[in-house]
Every structure is written in C-alpha cells, then in structure tokens.
Amino acid sequence: FPSHDRALKMIYDCGGRVSPEDKWLIIFKVRNPKTGKLERFRQAKGINKFHTYEERIAAAEKMKQYWTDKLKAGWSPFTDENIVYDDNLEYQTFIKNYRTLKSKNGTFRFYASKYIDFKKNEIDPNTVITYRSKLRLFNAWLDSRQLGEADVSCITQELLTEFMFFIIEKRKLSKSSVDNYRIILEAVFDYVRKERKQFPNPVFDLPGTKRINDSAAYPIQESDIPKLKKEILKTDPQLWLAICFEYYCFLRPREEIRFLRIGDIDFGRSRVVVKYENAKKGQRIVTIPAVFMDVIRDTYKLQDYSRDFFVIGTEGVPGTKHVCINNLTDRFRKIRITLGMPKEYKLYSWKHTGNVRADDAGIPRNELQGQNGHVSMVTTEIYMRNKKGNQSKNIIDNFP
C-alpha cells in the first residue's frame, strides 16, 4: 500500500518482556485526510493474553498481518463508522453546512462540538483530547440507538443512566473514568442549557462504580527511597535527574520534563520557567530548592550546555532531541521491577513523594500550591488529603 498514506511501523515488544504489566502493541501511522499529517495508532487486541515470548510474538505477527491486510484494502480509522475523528465530533460536510441543516442543528454532536470550541482556549491540549474522546464514545453510543441525528432534548436522565451502565458493565471502566464521563457530560448539558433556555440538565442521580482497573501512583515509602535512589544513580543517572525535577520542582514528566530546555532554567535566580505549551495549567515559574541547585550545577553541570538543548536528551545527556513520551516511564518501571518494588510505585510517584515530604517539613501549603501550579488552595488540600491522608503528628507522638 502507498507508504506515504499508510505505514505499519513496528511491533512494540517491551524489549521481549512478557509480564502482565508489559503491554505489547502494533503501531502504525495513517495520513489524516483533513490535516494531511500522519497520525499514529496503536492496537493490542489479541496479543497480551499470552504469557510466553513465543506465544506473544506469534500472536503479534498474526495481528501485524491482520492490520497490514486491512490497511492495504483501504481501511482508514478516519472513516471507521465506530470512531469519529473529524474535529469536534462533526463530519467535515456537517462542519461546512450545519447552519443550513436545520434538522441537525440541535443534535448532541452539534452542541458537543460547540462546547469544545468554547472550552479549548481555556484548557490544555491533552484535556481537549480527553473531552473529544469521551464525547465521541457517547455520540457513537447514541448512533447505535438511532439517536445520533435526533434533537438533543431526547437525551433524558433515563437514557444517560443506560449509557452509564454500558460503560460500567460492558466497557468495565474504572471509577475515575466513569466519574470523568459524568463530569464532562454534565458540563456539556450545562452549556446546552445556556444556549437553549428552559432546557433541563439531565445529568443527575447517575450510577457509579467502585471498580479500580489501574492503581494510582502512590508516594514512595521512606524505607524504599534510598534503595531506589542507589540503583537509579548507579544504572541511569539521567533518569535520576528527571526524577529530581519531578521531586523538587513538581514538574510533570511527560510534557514538562521531556520538553524542558537548558534555557528554561534560571541558574542565577534558582527557578524554572515552565512554558505555556508544555504546562498542564498554563505557564508558571517554579522554585529550584538549593539542595537540588547544587546537584544541577556541580553533578550534572547543566550550565555548560547550549541553551537550546533539551535537558533530557536521547543520548543520556542534554541534546538537540528529547526522549519519546514513554521513555522515562519505561526506564523507571524496569528498575522498579528489578528491585521487586510495589507496582503502585510509578514515575509519577516522585512528584507525590516530594509533596508529602515538603508538607511534612512544614513548608506552607500555599507555597506548595504555587509550586504545583494548582489553580486554588482547595485543589492543593484535596491533593494532599488523597496522597497523605489526615495524618496527625500529635497522635503519632503523644498517643498514651
């Protein structure tokens, strides 16, 4: 098939590892006819149920051939009837003509699209992607019930209850995902209510779940911190530098650390500028603690590199190319498995660990709020309660 339009890139085999945590993937790229850009897609179905290397590689090769044949036959994810990939849920022809299509201008797709347009300048790009993904699924579910082209007023609390049972029982989503669907749908229907006066918001008294599919990252226990530090410093000092930016500066690894450049570090004032395009909540300036500033200057000597270099380069030192999105996560997970540490320890655990230790040290929470980039103190209080609990030093020290 034309390589400029479709390309099967690789089988991602986690370096040959086959533990339950190692998820193999088929990765391919397809050109988006709307943007003209190649976009990456991943498929794992039919591979990870096997537990030996021989079984998995055979299944992976089989699935690779399956997707190769499908792409050669002309299939495209951008025209798949189960997935809507055009901007803001709407088909391209509908985007051009929706003002004249009176029978469609009150559909859920129409209002969801307008809502995303309304919000996308206020929220970061990753959140926009999350909104689109969840709203597309709900719209596809409406289509499956022949309600995709119906007026939005047909969507009642009873109908939404059926959808929630669908994602809970059929898709087996976790509590956090189910809660996110409810929050996003409630926001969309609030927007509809403002657009169409007297329109009641049908999002109320919806079912939930307590299912936990993927355990959240936990702060690392005190006794395990020196063990991890010793092993990481010995085998992967660049990873330890990334962890320090997470632990001391509360930077997020996937975007804020990966795209951090030497020029973003103010060596004189001991601070980091997290640029708008990389930050979760907009540009912010965070403080570099003195103990970490000494490591930056004396151990890693970052001040000696070009200001244009990425701090976490692909060659183990600052360079012109940054690492890929899962690179640091995979490196930490490999070391965690080697040491037999709990699976709840993830790369993001170091941010939680830094927050908990800083709070224990008596650093005021309003200062932690700024360092985290939280919009309000309420967010910081909830975050600390979730990661630390309501710990009482008085109870620890003075309980009779």
Give the tens place of pLDDT for each residue, 107-123. Answer: 898 899 999 988 888 87
Give the tens place of pLDDT for each residue, 40-78. Answer: 888 888 888 888 888 888 888 888 887 777 777 666 676
Could you give the percent of the chain with pLDDT greater than 70? Answer: 87
Helices in 41-156 by DSSP H: which ranges? 53-72, 92-97, 108-119, 125-144
* Full-model pTM: 0.55
**R_g (Cα) of the chain, nearest Å:** 24
Q: What is the DSSP letter of 289?
A: -
Give the tens place of pLDDT for each residue, 180-228. Answer: 999 999 999 999 998 887 788 999 988 888 776 556 788 999 999 999 9
CA–CA gap between residue 50 and residue 59 (Å, rounded): 8
Question: Is a pLDDT exceeding 90 seen at residue 241?
Answer: yes
Q: Which residue has the higher pLDDT, 64 or 299?
A: 299
Question: Is a pLDDT exceeding 70 seen at residue 286?
Answer: yes
Backbone angles phi, psi at 45, to 5 degrees: -60, 135
Question: Is a pLDDT exceeding 60 seen at residue 84?
Answer: no
